[in-house]
A and B are shown apart, each in its own frame.
Chain A
Amino acid sequence: MRLLLSSALGLSLVACGGSHTETSGETAADFQEQLQVQLLDAQPGDVIELPEGKFSLNRSLSLTQDGVTIRGAGMDKTILSFAGQVAGAEGLLVTGDQFTIEDLAIEDTIGDALKINEADGVTIRRVRTEWTGGPKTENGAYGMYPVQTTNVLIEDSVAIGASDAGIYVGQSKNVVVRNNRAEKNVAGIEIENTQDADVYGNVTTGNTGGILVFNMPNLSQSGGRVRVYNNEVYTNNYRNFGHPGTPVASIPAGSGIVVSSHDDVEIFENVVRNNRTANVIISSVYSTNYADDSWSDDFDPYPERIHVHDNELEGGGGNPDGAMLQAARVLKFGPTGRFPHVLWDGFAPEDRSHEICIADDEAEVFNADVPNESADPRVETEPHRCSLEPLAAVELAAAL
């Protein structure tokens, strides 16, 4: 504990220039060195306090110890800037369990901002990840990126400018993503191959796609049971600036909430408006740019048991991204017409009911008939008027 205090003193001295003064040269190197030493020496229960100030770092930071908290003075006050980064695929890489990070910002990393790999117990609170030059393809891929983690809480955080997803939770279990703001990313919030996730109270706007729930082939864990509720998902109309070849690069600009090849998703009590392709998109992996001979045999390509109900849906669908969708809109709804709120690619299993249930009265369903090369795209709402049992709430392990 004494060590911790003296180190913290060192860090405070480094920052003695006051708030928002940029450190440079030797002091920046000192800060980086001392912070990395603290991360190396951290013991379970330690809190590493970072003072107010903007600190330049040129290499990745890493933490493997369990039970460590990193705490700044506020997401606009303690800023770790990686604008001059020369090495490392992320800003901070964490593999320790029971990790908490709060009240700081990670800016302008070359790769991902904050990556957490194979940890149990992750709390990200009031953290901002941002690429400050606005949305650009050369920005790093993910802002907050827990992967193969369990018991994950991401709350009151802000993610801006990621060239893939601002908040991305992959191959994880027991996840709560709440009250965050994601803007100007390709995907605002993406939940991928994750089991039991609650995504609520978030605002996603200005992204290419607002909230994505994806299930991808060739991974050790398939996704299941995701609830998306009480979110505001509006005007996610930014052009897709993702890297060609990545899964999100196939997301049309103007996608509100997107479900791809995922089973058991409940979407309710959201306000979804003015997303120019469609407010809700439900699709199979067949509609992504994934080659169909590259899956393991046990991969289920169909979205099933999707329940959309009690949402406030408004606007959108009037200017879909891409010539084919645009042509379909004009053909079916006229030059000034709009797509219905729900766009479905039409892929369904032959041996069972897919149970895609759209219970919102104002939401009609547009079947794009992609399996038949869009020979007969049509509004087809009635077969989707059904409802499903609600999914259970996620309960995080007690330590959180």
Chain B
Amino acid sequence: MRMIAAVASLLLVLGACTEEAGPRPTFFASENPGTLSAWGVVARQGDQLVIGEGVLPYALNSPLFTDYAHKIRTVWTGGGEVSFASEGVGDFPVGTVISKTFYYPYKDGVALKQSDAESFDHGQSLALAEHRLIETRLLVHREDGWHPISYVWNEEQTEARLKRTGAVVPVTLASDEGLSEFAYVVPNEIQCAACHAPNATTKVITPLGPTAAQLDRPYDFADGPKNQLTHWADKGVLGPVEAVTVRMPAWADKAEALDARARGYLASNCAHCHNPQGPADTSGLDLTLTATGPALGRCKPPIAAGSGTGGRKVDIMPGDAEASILTYRVASTDPGAMMPELGRGLAHEEGAALLRDWINAMDGTCG
């Protein structure tokens, strides 16, 4: 009897799977639909958020911090192939839709601070009873380049609507230290480009996350864990890949060396602006993985930091995080002083602690 019941329920589950196929993705070559569901890359189905057919979930070695939000990242190429000429961002075919959904584990009206923000239920679905969706950002590759499009989820969590001018969403976050209320800021269309145009001269918009260096890691897919690039190859969407010689260090992985973790954190949280062609090259501070010396901030006085100095004299004072501007700005929540300038209202305590440890472990002095 028990066995029959088990088989029956198994059949029910299978039946549910075939009845409720995932949404069908659609590429809109010019117009921006008013609702996210029109794209079919992620959508609500019953009490779950699910991803569309043929849509690949992925995670990054070192993700960008966004107020402890968790992120569901997906890519859909419409069947075309992605190639990687270097460790840099993939060459995605026209018709590609990349999505990033920001959400929190949620209980009793408050968001929960939890680690492991980079995967969700075998990459298939998210139970909305236990999570709150905030926004889904798309990067759509059209004939004339990449377009950032933002959708903000409604209170009922049934649909996300196009919001070109961004939004402010009040969120209460619960952690071991208590409750903190903050304004979660959804960026406007131009602010998307403030990060996604890492060359401030050409101002060309590009994805930032899906580089070979960031994707070279395992992911817990529906049929088990597998390296993401291998999975893409198995699915027939991976074109030529140059050998990945530089893997982005995973900042949260304590098995990695301290220096690698810190550099991975800076590269993925700061270098989209702080690179030699970026909008923050005005500061002379370069936080890419390969930067060295004063350009990396060691003993470097600020240029136009304003209140961002926190009264400290150099970006990095070796051995003394408390005398370093970098750790001050990363830990600040004053919009006039904090770094990054966009994309957070809370301090990333674990990230700031990592950078403090890194600087405190440095040898030498300035002057």
Chain A residues packing against B (C-beta within 8 Å): 32-33, 36-37, 39-40, 58-60, 62-64, 85-89, 93, 95, 109-112, 117-118, 137-138, 140-142, 145, 147-148, 163-164, 168, 170-171, 216-220, 243-247, 289-296
Contact = CB atoms under 8 A, between A and B. Distances in A.
Interface of B: 164-166, 168, 183, 185, 188-191, 193-194, 200-201, 203, 279, 281-282, 284, 294-295, 298-314, 325, 334-337, 341-342, 345, 366-367
B306 to A, nearest CB: 3
A243 B309 contact: yes
B311 A245 contact: yes
Contacts of A141: 304-307, 336
Contacts of A142: 304, 306
Contacts of B298: 294
Given A64-B193, A218-B294, A291 B335 contact: no
A40 B190 contact: yes
A40 B164 contact: yes
Contact of B341 (A33, A89, A137, A219): A89
A246 B302 contact: yes
Name which of B191, B279, B282, B314 has the most chain A CB atoms within 10 A of its CB.
B282
Given A64-B203, A88-B341, A111-B306, 11 more contacts: A36-B166, A59-B168, A86-B185, A86-B335, A88-B335, A111-B335, A111-B337, A219-B282, A219-B284, A293-B367, A294-B314
A118 B185 contact: no
Contacts of A289: 301, 313
B300 A89 contact: no
A243 B300 CA distance: 17
Contact of A163 (B307, B345, B367): B307
Nearest to B199: A118
A173 B312 CA distance: 30
Contacts of A64: 190, 193, 203
Contact of A87 (B165, B200, B335): B335
A290 B307 contact: no
Nearest to A36: B165
A245 B313 contact: yes
A118 B282 CA distance: 9
Given A88-B341, A118-B200, A220-B284, A59 B307 contact: no
Contacts of B366: 291, 293-294
Contacts of A110: 334-336
A86 B189 CA distance: 18
A110 B332 CA distance: 13
Contacts of A246: 302, 304-306, 309
Contacts of B281: 148, 220
Name which of A110, A147, A164, A243 has the most chain B CB atoms within 10 A of its CB.
A243
A164 B194 CA distance: 24
A369 to B, nearest CB: 22
Given A37-B165, A87-B345, A117-B279, A147 B299 contact: no
B19 to A, nearest CB: 41
Contacts of A171: 282
